[in-house]
A and B are shown apart, each in its own frame.
Chain A
Amino acid sequence: MQTFFIVAILVFGFLITFQIAKASEYVSVLRGEEKSRKQSNRINAFLLLAFLIAGLFGVYYCNETLKGKLLKQSASYQGEHIDTMLWITLAITGVVFIATQIALFWFAFKYQESDTRKAYFYPHNNKLEVIWTVIPAITLTVLVGFGLYYWFNITSEAPKNAMVVEVTGSQFKWEFRYPGRDGILGKKYYRDINEAANNPLGQVWDDPANRDDIHTTGEVHLVVNKPVKFIIGSKDVIHDVGLVHFRMKMDAVPGTPTTMWFTPKYTTEQMKKITGNPNFVYELSCDQMCGKGHWSMRGVVIVETQEEFDSWMISQKPQYYVAFPEKDPSNPAYKADSTKTGSAAIIPTKNQIKTRQ
């Protein structure tokens, strides 16, 4: 019923508008077309000027209303470059925006048709053309210069001491893998992926480097002020690791690993204070459309101190033990099992790691 009324009102409103429009056409014929044309010319010229003023005020009002909902300061050191770049670009384009919009609507108002004015025949002026070729070119060179300086800075090689985390996207979840004690991510092969056998990433169990790798789903822990390098991949379609608070983004492409690195600046707890939001969490969003669950493909990043991180890490069980619980030393069944097979510890010794390197 409500829909019916809305449609009825719309149709009615339209009919009225249409009748007025049609009538105005007849009126203009009666009053003399030239005269009514000039009148509507004046009205439109005035409206253009009014639109300029209202529009500029609207820009200000919009900013006042929405600026509180924008991101607070960058939570990574790299993101600070991006914020600086944003301000430089905003300043330059802001000046151009205001100047050109004012010129456009002011000229429209000022040079509206009038019987007393003759239009000025002014086909070209090479000097002006050169000026407004050169000035934008110089301005853009400045923007390109800053942009590329920051770009190369952000996309440079990760520092040697960076923590490495592997990120894998799939419809519609995020999984993470830490290299474990040996500092090496074990080999993986996509054909070994088998959720039922607790091998969601396709780790090759023959590779000893895999046996201490830690696997988590949906949640990744990072250490504050410690650079982290993400090695990013996907199991099915293209996803994108979007870390809005760190101003970071990188596609997850099946078959082609990508990387990005950054240094978190604030822990999650500190960020709660900065944003004034007790429920604040760093979120990892999928930014590349990946299917029907794209909008809900969420991960959580927890930034904490080294101690907190270490104690969390100790509590994690390598995926190898999840896949083969009988080989887990903390499993009660383990001892019996190991006495039977007589196999030594599964975790590779330091010597083994060295030979691998």
Chain B
Amino acid sequence: MDAMNAHAEAIMTHEVHYDEHQAHHHNQSFISKYIFSQDHKTIAKQFLITGIIWAMIGGLFSVLFRLQLGFPGQSFPILETIFGKWAPGGEIKPEFYYALITMHGTILVFFVLTAGLSGTFANLLIPLQAGARDMASPFLNMLSYWFFFLASIVMLSSLFIQTGPAAGGWTVYPPLSALHTASIGSELGMDLWIVSMALFVVSSLLGGINYISTILNMRTKGMSMTRLPLTIWAVFFTAVLGVLSFPVLLSGLILLLFDRNLGTSFYLSDIVVNGQIMPNEGGSAILFQHLFWFLGHPEVYIIILPTMGIVSEIISINSRKPIFGYMAMVGSLFAICTLAFLVWAHHMFVTGMNPLLGSIFVLLTLLIAVPSAIKTFNWLTTMWRGNIRFTPAMLFSIGFVSMFISGGLTGIFVGNSTLDIQLHDTMFVVAHFHIVMGVSAFFGMFAGLYHWFPKMFGRYLNTTLGYIHFWVTLIGAYLIFWPMHYEGLAGMPRRYLDKSPWVSFSQFGDLDRMITIVSIIVYAVQLMFVFNFFYSIFKGRKVTTQNPWKANTLEWTTPIRPGHGNWPGEIPEVHRWPYDYSKDGRDFIPQTEPVGANESNEH
């Protein structure tokens, strides 16, 4: 078997050379190959590396403001070294604390877990797993990355201007974000935030329509929709969510830009700020929240759906079992995607909305728990009676399921308007969403990286570092976020940088210190992962077999280092679904293998 594989590989590599000599990919300059590349694999790497850089910045911000939370009143000279006038004497100024949490949220939610995640795995996997040479429009795909790059530049530049970056929270609620004098972060930094997000929306739309059209139109022969791996279904629904909801955010932000600079009153009414009477009358501050959360809620599914797909794939492969309930998995993705558009106002139960309207959103919100439960039970059943290999990817997938359970269940608390009255905008919410869409999504992303790194770079990530990375992150994440629920239950509001003036919230000093120390350790381990990532690109153990995880999907039929066009020669034809593991006594049956005459026809 191995000998055969090696033989096949030799042929493949040979063909690649042949192809490169012959056809359209010769004479690629450095710029067209690595910078303005239209190869989906290179674009995926560009998204990934940009995302990693952003994650290091956004994560560092959280560590630095955790210093303030864990040790209020203490001076950290390093803060003055990094932030200069924003942290005189080594203590972060309150206005800059709010700038930091705003940038932490914006960076992690949009730049890392949307662009970095979808951009990486949708670009890498759609053509490889659906069987296409590239995206429907490689050029638009390239533009998608470069718009993201521009958005990044604009956002990054806002960190260095005199009045500092936006500081109204990642949700940028007006009037705080609309009034220049309400906060120093509502000066130029806020305009740059809006411009950057507008560019980001363009990037996201260019990517999204490309993903959708590629999946619908460019699948290889035999690859019916129901033979697609769940990763592709997941990024498909993710793209649908993005295409339908990001424009609404853009419209909301443009109105905000008008209110800020052109004197309109979409969101402003009856305002006296710093003794200055504003002329605006008749606007509604709540309107913005509706527009924002019409994206904002689907956004959390934009973050979590791709990781659900990744995890489904990895759990199935490493349990050596088919994913349990493929159609139910697709159906629940569809249900989540649909419900995602009908629950946005659960972020607004205490804005004074009509209680009847609120009750409808309670019902629809808790409905989402049903497809989420189906997915969880199906993952568990996939592992049941498997033969499980604990690769770092599999461990991160198990960690994902654990985190998704923990964070999903607390969603049942905050999604219920009665409990939300008490829990809204407390640390409980912070704990909830960090577990369910922060840590879970990162676990899914890490799982995907450990799993597909060999496909991206032809080398493995160091496994031992991978295990250390997993265990420290899993334990650390629970230590950070589990006790945080208690702060929230005690009513501690979020975004309080110092609790000392309060009788009701100042009892958690020890806990806050512990959380800060653990978060520093966890961050250091993520840096270790980043090191592992870049080191392994150049020095990692080489991949020597075409299909290192013994998986069924099409990407493992390409050469170890596929060129532009992915397959030398014909794109393989698909004859079966991707989850025939341990069927009829065979460990795995690739999708490209025709159905045998004696094969049992289950599924």
Contact = CB atoms under 8 A, between A and B. Distances in A.
B1 interface: no
A128 B322 CA distance: 16
Nearest to A244: B491
A277 B506 CA distance: 13
Contact of A258 (B282, B325, B352, B386): B352
B385 A144 contact: no
For B269, B351, B499, B603, which residue has the most chain A Cβ atoms within 10 angstroms? B351
Interface in A1-59: 3, 10, 14, 17-18, 20-22, 24-25, 37, 40-41, 44-45, 47-48, 51, 55, 58-59
14 contacts: A3-B77, A25-B463, A41-B390, A55-B478, A85-B416, A89-B416, A104-B405, A119-B320, A124-B326, A191-B277, A235-B271, A249-B350, A253-B285, A289-B173
Interface string A189-211: 01101010000001000000000
A137 interface: yes
Contacts of B98: 289, 291-292, 294
A287 B409 CA distance: 23
The CB with the most chain A CB atoms within 10 A, among B176, B282, B424, is that of B176
Contacts of B583: 121
A128 B380 CA distance: 12
B342 to A, nearest CB: 15
Interface in B473-500: 474-475, 478, 482-483, 486, 489-491, 493-499
Nearest to B382: A122
A123 B603 contact: yes
B387 interface: yes
B512 to A, nearest CB: 12
A178 B398 CA distance: 57
Interface stretch (A93-101, A179-187, A346-354): A93-101
B51 interface: no
B388 A111 contact: yes
Interface stretch (B110-118, B356-364, B445-453): B356-364
A40 B388 CA distance: 12
A259 B354 CA distance: 11
Contacts of B504: 244-245, 283, 285
Given A17-B468, A119-B321, A247-B422, A132 B285 contact: no
Nearest to B541: A25
A154 interface: yes
B412 A93 contact: yes
A151 B324 CA distance: 38
A62 B286 contact: no
A238 B377 contact: no
B398 A104 contact: yes
A137 B332 CA distance: 13
Given A148-B362, A253-B285, A287 B424 contact: yes
Contact of B95 (A89, A117, A292): A292
A18 to B, nearest CB: 7
Contacts of A146: 418
A86 B503 contact: no
A209 B459 CA distance: 79
Interface in A202-250: 202, 232, 235-238, 240, 242, 244-245, 247-250
B385 A147 contact: no
Interface of A: 3, 10, 14, 17-18, 20-22, 24-25, 37, 40-41, 44-45, 47-48, 51, 55, 58-59, 62, 66-67, 69-71, 79, 81-82, 85-86, 89, 92-93, 96-97, 100-101, 103-105, 107-108, 111-114, 117-125, 128-129, 132-133, 136-137, 140, 143-144, 146-148, 150-152, 154-155, 170-171, 190-191, 193, 195, 202, 232, 235-238, 240, 242, 244-245, 247-251, 253-259, 277, 279-281, 283, 285-296, 298
B508 A21 contact: no
A124 B377 CA distance: 12
B470 to A, nearest CB: 9
B419 interface: yes
A341 B326 CA distance: 88
A154 B352 contact: no
Contacts of A79: 422
B398 to A, nearest CB: 6
Given A70-B489, A287-B493, A292-B94, A254 B370 contact: no
Nearest to B489: A70
Contacts of A288: 173, 425
Given A59-B482, A117-B387, A238 B285 contact: yes
B389 interface: yes
Contact of A251 (B95, B182, B351, B417): B351
B20 interface: no
The 5 closest A-B pairs by CB, nearest first: A255-B269, A244-B491, A258-B352, A21-B464, A155-B355
B311 to A, nearest CB: 12
Given A44-B467, A111-B386, A147 B324 contact: no
B582 interface: yes
A132 B379 CA distance: 12
B547 interface: no
B388 A296 contact: no
B176 A291 contact: yes
